[in-house]
C-alpha cells in the first residue's frame, strides 16, 4: 500500500522529531497527545528545528513552510483512526502503550498499519492485543530523530511482508537507513548499547573511575562522540533502567542486571538532562559531574 497520511501518538522529544521528518518528506501528519500544552510546545520545537535546518541550507524556506503546513494536532486519539500509518511514541511503559492501542482500535480503518517506536518492548506481545497483528510492527527511530540516520524495523511473529515493505518504503522516503531486527528484547541497538552504559555505571559504582574519567576514557580511548554516562543522561536514566529491566527479565541472564546505582539515581528523580540532574548537574553554565 502507498502511505500518505501518518498519525503520531505522543508529542514529546521522539514524537515531535518523528512528525518533523515525516512532514519534510511530504507526509501529512496528525499528532496527538493528552496535553494541549505538549502539543503547543511540540509545534514550537518543530518550527525552531526546521528554521535551524533552513538557516543551514539543509532545506529551503519553501520546504520549511510546507512542512509546517502538513502537521496538524488533536487531543482526540480516535481522530488518528483514518491514517494510513500510525506511529506510537508514548512513554516506554507497556501498560500505557497497550491502553493507547486498546482505545484506538475501534476507530481504525481496515487498511491502517499500526507501529510502535518502542526501544525494547515485545512487538509480538503488543500486536497480539490488536485486531491486526499482521499489520503491526516496530518502527524504532533514534534520538534526535532529525539527525540520526538509522531506523530499526522490527517484525513481530505475525507481521506480514506487505506491512514490512510499506514501512521500509517510508524509511527510504525519509532518506534514512532501515536495519531489520528480530523481535527479541531491546532489538539491535539497545541490546548492545544499554549493557555498555550499565557497565559504565557499574564502573562508577565500584569506584574504578569517576564520571569524568569514565566518559573521557571512552571518548578519547574508544573514539565515542559522547561518553556513556553523558549519553545515559541524554537518553534519560529512567529509559535506560526500563530497557535494562526488559533485557534482564526477557533473557534471564545476570549480565543484564541493572546496576543498583542506576536504580538509585532514578529513585532520586535524577533522570538526566530532562530533570537537570543525572550523572551530571546541568543547572549551571556548564555540566558538573555528580560523582
Active-site residue numbers?
119, 140, 152, 190
Q: How far apart, in whole angstroms, are the C-alpha atoms of residue 40 and residue 31?
A: 11
d(CA 183, CA 127): 11
DSSP class of 258 = P
Q: How many CB atoms lie within 10 A of CB 249?
A: 10
Which DSSP category does 79 fall into? Answer: G
Q: How far apart are CA 101 and CA 78, in angstroms?
A: 10
Q: Nearest-CA neighbor of 8 among 95, 157, 115, 96?
A: 115
Between the two ends of the chain, the Cα-to-Cα distance in Å is 53
List, in sequence order, every residue forming a beta bridge with 182; answer none if it has no partner.
Answer: 155
CA angle 212, 217, 221 (to 5 degrees): 155
| Cα–Cα distance, 75 to 90 (Å, whole number) | 14
Helical ranges in 70-115 per DSSP H: 94-104
Cα 112 to Cα 96: distance, rounded to the nearest angstrom: 20
CB 9 within 8 A of CB 80: yes
Amino acid at each position: 500500500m502507498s502511505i500518505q497520511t501518518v498519525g503520531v501518538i505522543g508529542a514529546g522529544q521522539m514524537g515531535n522529531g518523528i512528525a518533523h521528518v515525516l512532514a519534510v518528506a511530504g507526509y501529512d501528519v496528525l499528532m496527538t497527545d493528552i496535553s494541549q500544552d505538549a502539543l503547543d510546545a511540540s509545534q514550537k520545537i518543530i518550527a525552531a528545528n526546521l528554521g535551524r535546518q533552513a538557516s543551514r541550507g539543509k532545506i529551503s524556506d519553501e520546504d520549511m513552510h510546507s512542512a509546517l503546513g502538513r502537521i496538524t494536532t488533536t487531543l482526540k486519539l480516535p481522530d488518528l483512526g483514518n491514517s494510513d500509518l500510525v506511529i506510537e511514541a508514548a512513554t516506554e511503559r507497556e501498560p500505557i502503550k497497550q491502553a493507547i492501542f486498546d482505545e484506538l482500535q475501534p476507530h481504525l480503518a481496515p487498511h491502517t498499519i499500526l507501529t510502535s517506536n518502542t526501544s525494547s518492548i515485545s512487538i509480538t506481545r503488543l500486536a497480539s492485543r490488536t485486531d491486526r497483528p499482521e499489520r503491526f510492527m516496530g518502527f524504532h527511530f533514534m534520538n534526535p530523530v532529525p539527525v540520526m540516520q538509522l531506523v530499526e524495523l522490527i517484525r513481530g511473529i505475525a507481521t506480514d511482508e506487505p506491512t514490512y515493505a510499506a514501512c521500509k518504503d517510508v524509511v527510504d522516503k525519509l532518506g534514512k537507513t532501515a536495519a531489520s531486527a528480530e523481535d527479541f528484547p531491546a532489538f539491535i541497538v539497545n541490546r548492545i548499547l544499554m549493557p555498555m552504559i550499565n557497565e559504565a555505571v557499574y564502573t562508577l559504582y565500584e569506584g574504578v573511575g569517576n564520571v569524568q574519567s569514565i566518559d573521557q576514557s571512552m571518548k578519547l580511548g574508544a573514539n565515542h562522540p559522547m561518553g556513556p554516562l553523558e549519553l545515559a543522561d541524554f537518553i534519560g536514566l529512567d529509559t535506560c533502567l526500563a530497557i535494562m529491566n526488559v533485557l534482564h527479565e526477557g533473557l534471564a541472564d545476570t549480565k543484564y542486571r541493572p546496576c543498583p546505582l542506576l536504580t538509585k539515581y532514578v529513585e532520586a528523580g535524577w533522570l538526566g538532562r530532562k530533570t537537570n540532574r543525572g550523572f551530571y548537574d546541568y543547572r549551571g553554565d556548564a555540566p558538573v559531574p555528580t560523582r
